[in-house]
Amino acid sequence: MKLGQLRLGTRLALGLGALALTVFVIVGWVMVTSMQDFLDRRLDEQMATSQAGSSYEVKAYEKVTKLPPDWYAVVYVMEDGQLRAQPGEQQPPDRDEFDALANKALNGDLFETEYLRGKGKFRLRACEIVDGQTVLVSAAPMNDTDGTISQLITVSVVAFLAALVALVVGGQALIRKGMQPLSDMANTAHDISSHDLTDSADLAVRVDGKGGGVEVEELREAFNKMLAHIDTSLAARTAAEQRLRRFIADASHELRTPLTSLRGYADLFRYAAANEPGEREKHLEKLRSEASRMSVLLDDLLLLARLDSAESEPPLRPEELDLAVIAEAAGDAFRAARPSHSLDIDADTVTMRADATRLRQVLDNLLTNAAVHTPAGTSVSLQVTASDGWAVIKVSDTGPGIPEADQARIFDRFYRVDNSRTRQRGGSGLGLAVVQSLVEAHGGTISLASKPGSTVFTIRLPRQL
pLDDT at residue 168 in the model: 83
Which residues contact residue 75 at a Cβ distance below 8 angstroms, ignoring those fewer than 6 apart?
58, 62, 63, 64, 85, 86, 88, 129, 134, 135, 136
Torsion of Cα atoms, 241 then 246 then 251 then 252, to 10°: 100
String of DSSP letters for 396-448: EE-SS---HHHHTTTTSTT---TTTS--SS---S-HHHHHHHHHHHTT-EEEE
pLDDT at residue 256 in the model: 64
Which residues contact residue 148 at a Cβ distance below 8 angstroms, ignoring those fewer than 6 apart?
35, 39
Q: Which of 9-13, 176-180, 347-351 has the lowest mean pLDDT?
A: 176-180
Q: How confident is the model at residue 326 (pLDDT cuts 50, 70, 90)?
A: very high
Q: Is the Cα torsion angle 5, 11, 17, 22 positive or negative in sign?
A: positive
pLDDT at residue 277 in the model: 66
The residue-averaged pLDDT of 73-91 equals: 83
Q: How confident is the model at residue 251 (pLDDT cuts 50, 70, 90)?
A: low
Q: Using an 8 Å Cβ cutoff, are 90 and 72 in contact? A: yes
pLDDT at residue 75 in the model: 87
* Helix, strand, coil share (%) of the chain residues, nearest 5: 55, 20, 25
Q: How far is CA 333 from the centre of its chain?
A: 58
CA distance 205 to 207: 7
Q: Using an 8 Å Cβ cutoff, are 200 and 64 in contact? A: no
Secondary structure (H, E, C), 114-136: EEECCCEEEEEEEEEEECCCEEE
- Reported as half-sphere exposure (CB side, CA atoms, 13 A), residue 313 has a value of 9
For the stretch 8-50, pLDDT in tens is 677 787 888 888 889 989 999 999 999 999 998 998 888 888 8
For the stretch 418-440, pLDDT in tens is 543 333 444 566 778 888 888 98
Does 271 score more than 60 pLDDT? Answer: yes
DSSP at 4: G
Exposure string of 263-276, with b = 16+ CB inside 10 Å and e = fewer, is: eebeebbeebeeee
Does 289 score more than 80 pLDDT? Answer: no
Helix and strand numbers (H, E) in the chain are: 10, 12
Q: How confident is the model at residue 51 (pLDDT cuts 50, 70, 90)?
A: confident
Closest listed residue to residue 412, CA positions, set 439, 386, 430, 390? 430
Q: Which of 42-56, 118-132, 303-317, 365-379 has the lowest mean pLDDT?
A: 303-317
**Beta strand residue intervals within 117-257, DSSP E:** 120-130, 134-141
String of DSSP letters for 34-59: HHHHHHHHHHHHHHHHHHHHHHHHHH
Q: What backbone torsions phi and psi does residue 81 show, to the nearest 5 degrees? A: 80, 5
Q: How far is CA 455 from the centre of its chain?
A: 49
